[in-house]
Amino acid sequence: MVEIIAGGKGKGKTRHLLDRINEDFKKVDGDIIYIDKSQKHMYELTSKVRLINMADYTISSTDEFLGFLSGAISQNNDIEEIALDSFLTIAFIDTTDGLSRAIEKLDIISEKFNVRFVLCISKDEIDLPESVKAKIVVSL
C-alpha cells in the first residue's frame, strides 16, 4: 500500500508524518524505516525507528533510489513500513510522469513484500496527477 501526505511547503506534512510513525510503531510487530534528506528529525523519532539519511548515499536518479529501497527491504524481512519524507527530492522526481511511474513501482514493491510506504509530497492535491490522487490520506 502506498499512502500520500500532500501539501505545499511549510504546511505541516513532516510533523504529521513524524507523529504518525511514532504512533504506528506502537501498533506494528515489525520494523519501520524513516528516510529523509538529512538527519534533522532524528531526535523526534522513537529510537526504535531507523532513520536513513539519503545524503549519505550516492544516489542520483529515481531508478537508483527505487533500487536502494528494494535493497533495504531485501536485507530485512521484518520491515512493515517505510516513511519517505521529502519524497520528490530524495527520489529525484521532477515530472508528473516520473511521479506516476515511481508510485506504480512502489505499489509493486509494496504488494510483493507486504511493506506500506507513506510519502510526503510537497505539492497541493490539485497539482498531483489523477493516477495518484486516490492514494492521498492527508491533504494539507
Which regions of the chain does DSSP assign to beta strands (E)? 2-6, 31-36, 50-53, 79-84, 116-121, 136-139
| Angle at alpha carbon of residue 99, lines to 127 and 52, rounded to 5° | 115
The parent domain of residue 73 ranges over: 2-139
The Cα–Cα gap between 49 and 120 comes to 17
Work out the percent of the chain whose per-residue pLDDT is above 90: 62
pLDDT digits (tens, 9 = 90+) for 97-106: 999 999 999 9
The Cα–Cα gap between 104 and 109 comes to 9
Q: What is the pLDDT of residue 100?
A: 93
Count up the domains in the chain and report the number: 1
pLDDT digits (tens, 9 = 90+) for 51-91: 999 999 999 999 999 999 999 999 998 999 999 999 999 99
Q: What is the pLDDT of residue 118?
A: 96
| CATH code where residue 113 lies | 3.40.50.300
pLDDT exceeds 80 at position 44: no
pTM for this model (two decimals): 0.90
Tell me which of 33-37, 46-50, 78-82 is least confident: 46-50
The Cα–Cα gap between 105 and 108 comes to 5
